[in-house]
Structure 1
Amino acid sequence: MKYTILPHTNIKVSKLCLGTMTWGRQNSEVDGHEQLDYAFDQGINFMDTAELYPVPATPETQGRTSEIIGTWLKKTGYRDKVVLASKIVGRTSDYVAHIRKTGFSPKSIQEAIDKELKRLQTDYIDLYQLHWPERLTNTFGKLGYVHDPTDEWQDNFNDVLHSLEKHIKAGKIRHVGLSNEKAWGVMRYLEEHKSHNLPRMITIQNAYSLLNRTFEGDLAEVAIRENVGLLAYSTLAFGMLTGKYTDGTATPYSRLNQFPQLKRYSGERTRRATERYVKLAKDYRLSPAKMALAFVNQQPFLTCNIIGATSLEQLKENIDSIHINLSDELNAQINAIHDSIPNPAP
């Protein structure tokens, strides 16, 4: 395993982080514990969850993912050997209405942290992230920002950081980060940190893959110059980049077949790009999954690549990607595909 340091901390984490959002819906508690055992044995010490999980979210399953991690921690006694990341839901919408509709108010943050600590069976969370901005700014499937004049959100970056600081001082969370955020939001949080000596946002968890390289715009510069580490998610695009949906080997239980409402990676441009990436990987005698993950692993703005799988076999393949180094020649051909079909799944 390869390791890195969470920015602005002394916390050493594996460059591969174990994603968990299928546990409690597609995966059972037994599956989750099996994946945790294997990942830990392979040197992965970083796990990411959220109060929303599993996804797709429902009132009946909400929080189950973290409960599975909690029972594993209790069974193994490994809490001091792992780094835990979790998230509070952000934007108020019907999708998260079963959790709360009050955004990042002080009461919401306190409630979310206290409930998550109970689910995880721990007294602290190493990295606590804001899952979505409260303002209307970032929507799957849209490349640019389109201002919505009906948005009633009021600037509350300072208030949110003060609320998070309270829980840092209480020892409930150690550090804070962002997720699904834009460059302006990151810089506003950093401005409040620098001007008022408030907690610093140290990471940003955004989608990044061969099919979605939008992070390489303004956010990449922010990440490098301000040392805000990317925790990349959906790096296999819900399994699309394994090639199983384009070659017909996906089963009825594969994620995009089981949940057809998840349309982000189902467009025609996405399929055409995927076919070309899969062929390229095979030309170089690599599995498509390993090539896709190795591409993410090599990015200069990356802190950790969040990998997830519904089967132990797939998890093993994903972890093996840490040993793959892509040649300059292969990278050039990857970029040629990207240039011809850029960001088909933003």
Structure 2
Amino acid sequence: MKMRKIGKSDLEVSEICLGTMTWGSQDSLENAHSQIAHAKAQGINFMDTAEMYPVNPVRAETVGDTEEIIGKYFAKAKDRADWVLATKIAGPSGFISQEGITPATVEARLDLSLKRLQTDYVDLYQFHWPNRGSYHFRQHWTFDPSAQPSKEEVLDNMRAVNEKMAELQKAGKVREFGTSNESAWGMMQWQRVAEETGGPRMQSIQNEYSLLCRHYDTDLAEFAVHEEVTLLAYSVLSCGMLSGKYNGGKTIDPNSRMAVGPDLGGRVTPQVWPAVDAYLAIAKKHGLDPVTMAIAWSMTRPFDVVPIIGGRSVEQLQHSIDGADLTLSEEVLADIDAAHRAHGKPF
């Protein structure tokens, strides 16, 4: 497993990140701990979680359970120093806090995360979604930025939060910061505020990115290249659709994500299955595992990407890990490009 850095930081991470969002809902503590141990054995040292996890579904009574599972692993394995650990504070949420991200909530909720994780620092602390709202999670179809707070209000909040970020960094509670479900405009403001205040910059952005979801490819890609920000790509398999396991929506395992949420967070549309079939056909044509192909493809992009992987078992996880060692041929990449042009926005 190759190692690389996040953004302009000194965080030395594996080129694949271990995701955790179903630990505590669809995955048991024992299964989660087996996945952590297996990922480490394969050279992965980067793990991502969030205070609101687990998902599928998100429930107020389970908020923080995934962090607790990870904390119990650290207490048992005594290997916290071997990991680059990322977690997130949620924006305005009925499950956690309507206040969203403020100087007070950033520190208070970080402290709660640290307690659950049984550690005294987080390597990468991320803002799960911005206070002003987001076009992610299928909200792009009706996105209305005119309903956001004024620019002055947004920037005043960013300045105050950035000053608190600097305090947390100086106190040793956080090494670096990042965002999630952000826009190009939002990222530029965070970087501008960091330059104004002398506080820490955002080193990463965690947005959805896959063969089926490529919003990032234009404005955000340009921003990331010039500002040296790393994309932490989530849902790289589009909730398992790109594995082919759903058979066009006709085969649904009772333990799968689709059994819990039939529309997979708005990803299931009439046009998505032909798109999935096109990518599965490419994998079959070239003798590739479709999961491994999807992960390997994400690592070919002309901007900095670390895919976040997940699985229901160690065996499933390995298919994604194998993507780090797969080099896609020019023929495969050309076929993928043709499929993208034919199925550009399936959800």
Shared fold (TM-score greater than 0.5)? Answer: yes
How far apart, in 1, do the equivalents of 2:8 and 2:146 lie?
36
CA shift digits 1:78-109 (9 cap, x unpaired) = 1111100000001x2xxx31311111112211
Task: Compute the displacement of 1:142 (Å).
Answer: 4.4
Q: 1:139 to 1:214 in 2, by over 3 A?
A: closer
Task: Compute the displacement of 1:275 (Å).
Answer: 0.7
Count of aligned positions: 341
Match of 1:111 in 2: 108
How far apart, in 2, do the equivalents of 1:106 and 1:64 lie?
24
Gaps of 5+ in 2: none
Match of 2:289 in 1: 287
CA contact (8 A) 2:19 2:309 kept: yes
CA contact (8 A) 1:231 1:303 kept: yes
How far apart, in 1, do the equivalents of 2:140 and 2:106 lie?
30
How far apart, in 1, do the equivalents of 2:282 and 2:3 lie?
28
What pairs up with 1:67-86 in 2 under 5 angstroms? Answer: 67-86=68-87
Match of 2:95 in 1: 98
Match of 2:315 in 1: 313
How far apart, in 2, do the equivalents of 1:57 and 1:85 lie?
19
Match of 1:120 in 2: 117
Q: 1:208 to 1:28 in 2, by over 3 A?
A: same
CA shift digits 1:187-230 (9 cap, x unpaired) = 00111112221111000000000001110110001111100000
Q: 1:323 to 1:148 in 2, by over 3 A?
A: closer
CA contact (8 A) 1:20 1:65 kept: yes
CA contact (8 A) 1:137 1:147 kept: no
How far apart, in 1, do the equivalents of 2:168 and 2:61 lie?
28
CA contact (8 A) 1:137 1:145 kept: no
- AA aligned to 1:147 is D
How far apart, in 2, do the equivalents of 1:116 and 1:323 lie?
34
CA shift digits 1:231-277 (9 cap, x unpaired) = 00100000000011126554111111222253332111111100110
Runs of 4+ in structure 1 off by over 6 angstroms are none
How far apart, in 1, do the equivalents of 2:292 and 2:241 lie?
13
CA shift digits 1:117-171 (9 cap, x unpaired) = 0010000000000000111342322447843444346212111211211111111
1:216 aligns with 2:217: yes
How far apart, in 2, do the equivalents of 1:145 and 1:327 lie?
38
Q: 1:308 to 1:332 in 2, by over 3 A?
A: same
SS of the equivalent of 1:168 reads helix
Q: 1:143 to 1:259 in 2, by over 3 A?
A: closer
Identity across matched positions, percent: 43
CA shift digits 1:42-93 (9 cap, x unpaired) = 0000000000100121012111111111111111111111100000001x2x
How far apart, in 2, do the equivalents of 1:143 and 1:151 lie?
14
How far apart, in 1, do the equivalents of 2:306 and 2:145 lie?
33
Match of 2:343 in 1: 341
SS of the equivalent of 1:268 reads coil
- AA aligned to 1:127 is L
**C-alpha RMSD of the superposition:** 1.5
How far apart, in 1, do the equivalents of 2:341 and 2:115 lie?
47
Gaps of 5+ in 1: none
CA contact (8 A) 1:6 1:303 kept: no
Match of 1:22 in 2: 22
Q: 1:104 to 1:143 in 2, by over 3 A?
A: closer
CA contact (8 A) 1:240 1:265 kept: no
Task: Normalising by structure 2, report the TM-score.
Answer: 0.94
- AA aligned to 2:122 is I
Match of 1:332 in 2: 334
How far apart, in 1, do the equivalents of 2:227 and 2:149 lie?
29
Task: Normalising by structure 1, report the TM-score.
Answer: 0.95
SS of the equivalent of 1:231 reads strand
- AA aligned to 2:304 is L
SS of the equivalent of 1:204 reads strand
- AA aligned to 2:137 is F
CA contact (8 A) 1:49 1:87 kept: yes
- AA aligned to 1:38 is H
- AA aligned to 2:308 is I
